[in-house]
């Protein structure tokens, strides 16, 4: 990274192309080559991609310039150019962008902040040199050496970047001049107090026996703690969206939760033979969600009241719960908690960007661990008997990393790992090794957080497999024109070094058949028990075909030694693109009446 050391005068350092090219990282896009003279930025889908050199110390930009050429236009609304950005936990936000857009007009962004300047155009194949110079309290913009516009400089520090959207663009002949800025601010992190638990209702008279894992004949099965009877999780995923037919998961949000509806759902699941329900414990994060925005507290007591009501109702219906603690907390006091943890960390690698931060960065993992501990402790303080209703805590619905985010969006970064060692992302093998190390550390640290509050709790995590994109499990997150999301290897999170108790794999007709790909499930390499946490069939086949495929999925999963199955989904009939809901066409009864699973638990 740029360290502002070496040849410089009065704290000013100057960098050129060959010094900058190895230092780039990208977000919402990728840099496909490491040519020492050229940087190429390709955005992901329709998103605005940024690339920027990693700078070690806070600096003022005195000069930032480059020559730009559009390589491939994918949409008439394309744009690419030079930018100054601010950073919000390694998510770039555009302060100033100047570049090419439709018909090769020269335009400044965001256009509603500045006077119209898009009348200039250049020939479609011509390169353009953009220069941004700081002069006292303003930035002066030059196009091909001609003065274009002056922009007032903000008080906050900006970073140099390039951007592209709906096009592939190349950038050459970089020149960056920085002046070091002293920044001695230190934010001390103080963990908030546990939110006072809801005590408005008596503890449950009824409790469910704890589900444990027991090994016999080199096989682990779920058992009921009180009788040692084998327990096979069979049931459903249940989802309520924020706006019913759209939005994010919001089952327990204070403006969504309906006690009568959930009572009806649990009753129907029990009547058709279900013994487990899988739900988003952390859904939409806003004023109605599980996090508090009151100073000094973390959890929203009204939300927690809903979640505890749900656990009590599930207990009455003999239904165990897998709550999903999905993604990292990002609302209310956690905004400041995360920022303070980040400022204190010397292990938050600057080459990590966007979505991937939650798995790589020490601050994100610590923040989520705090939220997990507070969430489970709240239930424990309110009614400890409800902890046995929880079959397992799921750390995430579907884990994945993105190769359109740093460090995998380029092939030059050297990454700091949790043990203090470093690895480079230049080869497929190294990229895969980095993924395996990082995802295992993430899962183990959060598993420790769960068990620090409830040592007997089971912990799991959900994932789909690489056959969803027609890839091998050890793919190194290379760019192949397919999905930018990459699930982890089952053998890593389900391996001997993992502290998880079991893993949860999701099965869908990825290749439009019912074939379960053994290689992508890493059959024979996974050491932990596995359940099918989701399985379903989309409505592009007939009801009868779907019912056949569902049973074939289950047959193959249990033949591979899987220990349970949860249907996707109970009721999302308001969304036509979804899989067949369990409440339609007798699907719930069809899958629950399948009893062949019993033969795999008789020995």
Tokens standing for 513?
């058949």
Q: Cα(170)–Cα(395) distance, rounded to whole angstroms?
A: 40
pTM: 0.95
Domain of 263?
211-601
Point out the domain boundary residue: 128, 160, 180: 180
Mean pLDDT per 10-residue segment, the chain (603 residues): 57 89 93 86 95 87 95 93 93 93 86 55 77 92 92 88 97 93 61 71 80 89 96 98 96 98 98 98 96 89 97 98 95 89 93 97 97 97 97 98 97 93 96 98 98 98 97 96 97 98 97 96 98 97 98 98 98 95 98 97 81
Is 205 domain-assigned? no
Give the list of residues 6+ apart from residue 340 with CB closer than 8 angstroms, or none. 187, 188, 189
| CATH number, residue 27 | 2.60.120.560
- One domain for residues 155 and 273: no
- One domain for residues 116 and 244: no
Q: By C-alpha distance, which of 558, 572, 559 is closest to 233? A: 558
Is 187 domain-assigned? no
- One domain for residues 173 and 219: no
Is 195 domain-assigned? no
pLDDT of 383-425, one tens digit each?
A: 999 999 999 999 999 999 999 999 999 998 999 999 999 999 9
- One domain for residues 509 and 565: yes
Point out the domain boundary residue: 159, 180, 201: 180
- One domain for residues 359 and 415: yes
- One domain for residues 267 and 223: yes
Reduce the DSSP state of residue 436 to 3 states and report it. Answer: helix
Q: How many domains does the chain have?
A: 2
**Pairing between β-strand 79-88 and β-strand 59-73 as defined by DSSP bridges:** unpaired
How far is the CA of 520 from the CAs of 173, 271, 430, 434, 505, in angstroms?
A: 44, 35, 20, 19, 11
Is 143 domain-assigned? yes
Q: Cα(222)–Cα(230) distance, rounded to whole angstroms?
A: 6
| DSSP category for residue 308 | H
Is 445 domain-assigned? yes
Q: Cα(535)–Cα(211) distance, rounded to whole angstroms?
A: 23
Is 188 domain-assigned? no
Tokens 């219906």: give the residue. 317
Angle at 450 between CA 444 and CA 451, to 5 degrees: 85
Point out the domain boundary residue: 180, 202, 222: 180
Is 197 domain-assigned? no
- One domain for residues 250 and 175: no
- One domain for residues 107 and 37: yes
- One domain for residues 497 and 575: yes
- One domain for residues 332 and 412: yes
pLDDT at 3: 65
- One domain for residues 163 and 274: no
Is 545 domain-assigned? yes
Contact call for residues 132 and 84 (beta carbons, < 8 A): yes
| CATH number, residue 493 | 3.20.20.80
Contact call for residues 80 and 163 (beta carbons, < 8 A): yes
Tokens 């487990």: give the residue. 276
Q: Cα(239)–Cα(258) distance, rounded to whole angstroms?
A: 13
Reduce the DSSP state of residue 411 to 3 states and report it. Answer: coil
Q: By C-alpha distance, which of 132, 141, 163 is closest to 68? A: 163
- One domain for residues 147 and 287: no
pLDDT of 150-190, one tens digit each?
A: 988 888 889 999 999 999 999 999 999 998 776 545 556 77
């Amino acid at each position: 990274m740029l360290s502002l050391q070496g040849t410089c005068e009065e704290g000013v350092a100057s960098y050129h192309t060959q010094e900058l090219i190895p230092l780039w990282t990208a977000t919402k896009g990728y840099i496909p080559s490491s040519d020492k003279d050229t940087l190429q930025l390709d955005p992901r889908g329709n998103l605005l991609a940024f690339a920027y050199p990693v700078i070690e110390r806070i600096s003022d930009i005195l000069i930032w310039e480059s020559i730009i050429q559009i390589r491939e236009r994918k949409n008439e609304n394309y744009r690419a150019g030079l930018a100054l950005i601010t950073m919000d936990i390694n998510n770039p936000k555009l302060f100033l962008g100047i570049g090419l857009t439709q018909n090769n007009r020269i335009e400044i962004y965001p256009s509603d902040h500045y006077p119209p300047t898009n009348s200039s155009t250049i020939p479609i194949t011509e390169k353009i040199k953009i220069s941004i110079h700081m002069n006292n309290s303003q930035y002066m913009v030059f196009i091909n050496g001609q003065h274009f516009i002056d922009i007032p400089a903000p008080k906050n520090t900006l970073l140099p970047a390039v951007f592209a959207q709906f096009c592939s663009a190349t950038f050459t002949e970089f020149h960056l001049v920085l002046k070091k800025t002293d920044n001695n601010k230190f934010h001390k992190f103080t963990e908030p107090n546990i939110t006072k638990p809801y005590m408005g209702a008596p503890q449950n008279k009824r409790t469910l026996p704890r589900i444990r894992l027991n090994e016999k004949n080199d096989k682990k099965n779920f058992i009921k703690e009180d009788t040692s009877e084998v327990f096979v999780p069979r049931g459903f995923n249940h989802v309520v969206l924020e706006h019913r037919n759209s939005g994010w998961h919001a089952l327990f949000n204070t403006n969504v939760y309906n006690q009568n509806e959930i009572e009806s759902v649990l009753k129907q699941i029990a009547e058709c033979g279900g013994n487990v329900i899988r739900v988003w414990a952390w859904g939409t994060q806003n004023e109605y969600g599980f996090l508090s925005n009151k100073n000094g507290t973390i959890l929203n007591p009204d939300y927690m009241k809903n979640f505890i009501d749900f656990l009590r109702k599930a207990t009455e219906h003999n239904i165990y719960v897998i709550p999903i603690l999905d993604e990292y907390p990002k609302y209310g006091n956690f905004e400041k908690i995360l920022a303070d943890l980040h400022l204190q960390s010397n292990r938050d690698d600057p080459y990590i960007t966007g979505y991937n931060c939650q798995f790589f960065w020490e601050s994100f993992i610590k923040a989520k661990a705090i939220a997990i501990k507070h969430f489970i402790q709240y239930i424990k303080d309110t009614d400890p008997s409800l902890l046995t209703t929880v079959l397992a805590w799921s750390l995430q619905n579907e884990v994945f990393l993105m190769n359109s985010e740093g460090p995998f969006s380029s092939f030059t970064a050297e990454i700091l790992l949790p043990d203090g060692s470093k690895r480079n992302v230049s080869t497929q093998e190294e990229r895969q090794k980095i993924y395996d190390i990082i995802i295992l550390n993430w899962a183990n640290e959060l598993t420790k957080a769960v068990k620090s509050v409830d040592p007997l709790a089971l912990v799991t995590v959900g994932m789909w497999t690489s056959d969803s994109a027609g890839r091998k499990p050890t793919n190194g997150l290379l760019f192949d024109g397919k999905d930018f999301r990459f699930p982890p290897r089952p053998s890593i999170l389900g391996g001997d070094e993992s502290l998880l108790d079991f893993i949860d794999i999701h099965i869908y007709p990825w290749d439009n058949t019912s074939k379960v790909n053994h290689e992508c499930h890493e059959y024979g390499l996974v050491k932990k028990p596995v359940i099918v946490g989701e399985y379903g069939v989309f409505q592009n086949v007939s009801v009868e075909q779907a019912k056949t495929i569902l049973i074939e999925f289950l047959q193959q999963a249990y033949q591979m030694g899987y220990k349970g199955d949860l249907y996707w989904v109970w009721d999302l009939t308001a969304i036509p693109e979804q899989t067949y809901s369990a409440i339609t066409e007798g699907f719930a009864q069809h899958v629950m009446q399948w009893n062949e699973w019993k033969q795999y638990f008789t020995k």
